[in-house]
Amino acid sequence: MSKLSQFRTFGKKIVCVGRNYREHAAELGNPVPSKPILFLKPTSAYISEGQAIKIPQGCNDLNHEVELGVVIGSKAIQVAPEEALNYVGGYALGLDMTARDWQSEAKKQGHPWSLAKGFDTSCPVSAFIEKEKIPDPNNIDLWLKVNGETKQAGNTKDMIFSVEYLVSYASQYFTLEPGDLLLTGTPSGVSKLIPGDIIQAGLGNLISMQFEVDK
C-alpha cells in the first residue's frame, strides 16, 4: 500500500451516494434505501473556488447538496468495511449540484440521472483535507448557506451508511483508484438557486469554500 500520508491530490472519478440521510430522503418524498444508491459524475464536473457554477441550459430548478467527500488514497478492490479506512487518503468538501427538475423527470421515466447530476460544473470541491484532520469521518458537521442564510446544517453521524460501509460497498463493483472522490450524500435543506446566488459551505471548523452561481 502506498504511503497515504503523502497523498495530496484528487480529481479522478466521482462516485456519489444518494439518499444517505433519512431527512433528505423524506424531504423529496423518497423511500429510505436498504442498500447504498450509487451514481457517477464525469471528471468534467469538477470546479474549484474561483470558478462559477453554471445553470445548465433548460434547467429550471438547480439545487445545492453539500456532502462530505472521501478521497481514495490507494487502489481498493472488494475491500471489507473493517479495512476500508486504510484506503482513504483524505477528505474534501463537495457540492453535488443537481438539476432537480431533470432528476424528477428522469425518476418518473425510469431514466438515468446522468444529465441531472453530471453536467459541467456540477461538482464544486474544496481543497484537499489531510486524513489526520478528520479522525472520525462519521461525526463531522457540514453546513451550507445561500446569500448568508443557512440552508443545510447536518452531521455525518446521521448518515444511514457509514464511510467504511460506503467505501467497501462501492469497491465491490468499481475499482476505487487513488484520486477518486466518493461523495457521501446530503443532509436535508436542499433548495433552488438562481443566477448570482452566493453559496458558502463548510466542514466543521476545518474548511470553508464559496462559489457563485453564474449570472
Ligand X SMILES: CC(=O)CC(=O)C(=O)O
- The smaller minimum CB distance to ligand X, of residues 7 and 161, is found at 161
> Which string of b and e fits 33-69 if b means at least 16 CB within 10 Å?
eeebeebbbeeebbbeeeeebbbbeebebbbbbbbbb
Residue 152 binds Mg ion (CB under 5 A): no
- The smaller minimum CB distance to ligand X, of residues 20 and 162, is found at 20
Q: What is the smallest separation between the CB atom of 8 and ligand X, expressed in angstroms?
A: 26
Query: How far apart, in whole angstroms, are the C-alpha atoms of residue 16 and residue 208?
Result: 21
156 binds, among ligand X, Mg ion, none (CB under 5 to 8 A by kind): none
Query: How far apart, in whole angstroms, are the C-alpha atoms of residue 27 and residue 32?
Result: 11
* Interface contacts to ligand X, rule CB under 6 A: 16, 18-20, 24, 28, 65, 96, 98, 103, 185-186
- The smaller minimum CB distance to Mg ion, of residues 65 and 164, is found at 65
151 binds, among ligand X, Mg ion, none (CB under 5 to 8 A by kind): none
Q: What is the smallest separation between the CB atom of 98 and Mg ion, expressed in angstroms?
A: 7
Query: How far apart, in whole angstroms, are the C-alpha atoms of residue 203 and residue 91?
Result: 10
- The smaller minimum CB distance to ligand X, of residues 73 and 185, is found at 185
Query: How far apart, in whole angstroms, are the C-alpha atoms of residue 104 and residue 64?
Result: 15
| List 24, 65, 140, 159, residue binding Mg ion (CB under 5 A) | 65
